[in-house]
Amino acid sequence: MSGHSKWSSIKHQKGAADAKRGQLFTRLAREIIVAVRAGGPSPEANFRLRLAVQKARDANMPLDNIDRAIRKGSGEGGGAALQEFILEGYGPGGTAILVQVMTDNRLRALQEVRNAFTRHGGSLGESGCVAWLFQSRGMITVKGGDRDVEELELKAIDAGAEDVQQSNGDIEIYTKPEETEAVRKALEAAGVHVDSSELSMVAKTLIKLEEKPGLQALKLLDRLEELDDVNGVYSNADFSPEILAKHEAEAQSASR
């Protein structure tokens, strides 16, 4: 599939080993709360909630936290109402960026996202400026290891997947959004261990970046991911392995 960006895999790897586990669970809880408010508290009748709960389980979120989020989404426990919206902007090198926001303070979230763009060579745009460059897809991730990729690809296509891509040792399987759950179940029934599944916004085409704008774009994407009110970041930037490695080395050096 055109539009796959290796940065998506990098951020998943970072998330898996992230010390900010509490922040991860907070984001997952927000997804569950918003899903409940949009479609009700029954996972059986709410497709989006089923995916949100599965995503939380994949991240080893405690069942008590999941149940608490469902109850909160149903109106128990009070708290400020969450708003969900998408912000769009441009990154270094003319790249397109979508930012999924879930927040109890719209103005705060807007200001923080705008500041991140401005400080890292980008600019926040108007609604609709880059959304047309992306399409909604289900994304199922399987650890590569010594796995026979061709065999897995055949299993995925048989299960209803549209495309299979390799990235940084992971295998990413893309589906229609509404078929994500069915494809995951079919893969698991075929003996495939699924690492995670979620809905994603995938770029239709990618922009290959040179080193300087590439490193700047990665810093912007990382900063957006760090914001508490941000639940997802999607870009059409494509980075070479050399740029990704240099960014990783710089990030590790800065954290020492």
DSSP 150: H
Per-residue pLDDT at 8 exceeds 50: yes
List residues bridging with 167 in a β-sheet: 170
Per-residue pLDDT at 235 exceeds 80: yes
Neighbours of 182 (CB within 10 A): 14
Per-residue pLDDT at 227 exceeds 50: yes
Of the ranges 117-131, 159-173, 229-243, which one carries the lowest mean pLDDT score? 159-173
**Per-residue model confidence (pLDDT) at position 19:** 44
Distance from C-alpha of 92 to C-alpha of 89, rounded to nearest angstrom: 10
- For 79-92, the pLDDT digits (tens) are 668 899 999 999 99
CA torsion sign for 24, 26, 28, 34 is negative
- For 40-57, the pLDDT digits (tens) are 999 888 989 999 999 999
Q: Are 61 and 28 in contact (CB under 8 A)?
A: yes
Domains for the chain: give ranges and CATH numbers.
Answer: 3-74 (1.10.10.200), 83-132+206-248 (3.30.70.980), 133-203 (3.30.70.980)
What value does the mean pLDDT of the chain take?
Answer: 88
Residues 32-38: what's their mean pLDDT?
Answer: 91
Residues 200-216: what's their mean pLDDT?
Answer: 94
Percent of the chain with pLDDT over 70: 90
- For 136-177, the pLDDT digits (tens) are 999 999 987 777 888 888 999 999 999 998 877 789 999 999
Amino acid at 215: L
Kindly write down the DSSP assignment for every residue of 6-57, as one continuous string: HHHHHHHHHHHT-S-HHHHHHHHHHHHHHHHHHH-S-TTT-HHHHHHHHHHH
**Which segments within the chain are labelled E, that is strand?**
83-91, 95-103, 123-124, 134-143, 163-167, 170-175, 196-203, 207-208, 230-235, 237-238
Q: Are 34 and 47 in contact (CB under 8 A)?
A: no
Specify the pTM.
0.85
pLDDT band at 3 (very low <50, low <70, confident <90, very high): very low
